[in-house]
Amino acid sequence: MHNNSRRPTRRVGVPQLAAAVSNAGGLGILTALTQPSPDALRHAIRETRKLTKYPFGVNITLLPSINPPDYEGYARAAVEEGVRVFETAGNNRAGHPGEEDIGGLVLLARAAQELKIPYIASGGFADGRGLASALALGACGVNMGTRFMCTVESPIHQNIKDKIIASTEKDTVHIFRTLHNTARVFKNAVAQQVVALERRPGGAKFEDVRELVSGQRGRLVYEKGDPDYGIWTAGIVMGLIKDCPTCEVLLSRIEREAEEVIEELQALRVTGKEKAKL
């Protein structure tokens, strides 16, 4: 998502939102490559510190790139600024669902089988029921992207927040499938044009869609509030998003809902007496 050719999601993981998430009891994440340089990341980290006394992390997204960013410089800047939590994503995350369409349920259950370290579930989470299900599948928490786009503190235009609320789980589409770098994006006219080019006889090369998917156009979607201006990332979890709360209201609601679900599930337990009757 952050490489120079395909980065539709910049400008969301900024100090204002990361700090709001941390202040609300989550772990806010700054996206390093949203900043134009390692030095700018330093400033963003300092700015976030002014806005929250709680921990936050830095994401450095590693994807194939025509002009790879200075990954080392970004990592060094964050370490030198005292950041202790790093998050990274490669081809299977960050709106990049992978090429094999393995659903989250199986991915998480496989993670539970394979991993000996704590892990966090990502993709499709927006509420307490989702959090409880991730915990049941062995994860120790959830990562949410689309849900936080639609919060009061999210730095994107209100029209886009309203668009997310009005959209359903059917309003995304995969682009770059034929280029083996599948990305899930909001299904607008531009995204459908990209898919049509990919599907035409002989397919499409990146050059053919470069202008349509430009990061500049995607950025303007968030700034100007025109959902059709370019390509922008959004998950199928849009179907679950019905409001635009503050991060604090959202996170306390998710916590309460998850606790309620876990309590309800406890009622399903078969007690000693009932077992004896069987």
Ligand X SMILES: Cc1cc2nc3c(=O)[nH]c(=O)nc-3n(C[C@H](O)[C@H](O)[C@H](O)COP(=O)(O)O)c2cc1C
Give the residue with the Cβ less far from ligand X, 13 or 204.
13
Q: Which stretch binds ligand X (CB under 6 A): 8-16, 65-73, 98-106, 201-209?
A: 8-16
Would you give the binding string for ligand X spanning residues 84-103, x where CB under 6 A is met?
Answer: -----x---xxx--------
Give the residue with the Cβ less far from ligand X, 69 or 123.
123
Q: 214: alpha, beta or left, given left = phi > 0 and alpha = psi -120 to 50?
A: beta
Please report how close the Cβ of residue 50 comes to ligand X at its closest, in angstroms: 22
Number of residues binding to ligand X, judged by CB under 6 A: 26
Instruction: Give 53: exposed, middle or buried? Use CB within 10 Å, 0-12, 13-18, 19+.
Output: exposed
Cα separation, 64 vs 102, whole angstroms: 21
User: For residue 172, what are the β-bridge partners?
Assistant: 186
Tell me if 247 contacts ligand X by CB under 6 A: no
Residues with Cβ < 8 Å from 98, sequence gap 6 or more? 91, 92, 182
- Interface residue with ligand X among 133, 146, 188, 214 (CB under 6 A) is 146
Cα separation, 241 vs 168, whole angstroms: 8
Pairing verdict, β 56-61 and 85-89? parallel
Tell me if 78 contacts ligand X by CB under 6 A: no
Tell me if 122 contacts ligand X by CB under 6 A: yes
Tell me if 12 contacts ligand X by CB under 6 A: yes
Tell me if 233 contacts ligand X by CB under 6 A: yes
- Interface residue with ligand X among 22, 143, 151, 172 (CB under 6 A) is 143
Give the residue with the Cβ less far from ligand X, 183 or 204.
183
- Interface residue with ligand X among 51, 144, 247, 251 (CB under 6 A) is 144
Please report how close the Cβ of residue 121 comes to ligand X at its closest, in angstroms: 9
Tell me if 125 contacts ligand X by CB under 6 A: yes
Number of CB atoms found within 10 A of residue 96's CB = 21
Backbone angles phi, psi at 252, to 5 degrees: -70, -35
**Structure tokens that stand for 194 in this block:** 């990209």
Cα separation, 46 vs 15, whole angstroms: 9
Task: State the Cα torsion 141-115-61-223 to the nearest 10°.
Answer: -20
Give the residue with the Cβ less far from ligand X, 12 or 261.
12
Binding site for ligand X (CB under 6 A): 1-2, 9, 12-13, 31, 59, 61, 89, 93-95, 122-125, 143-147, 149, 233-235, 237
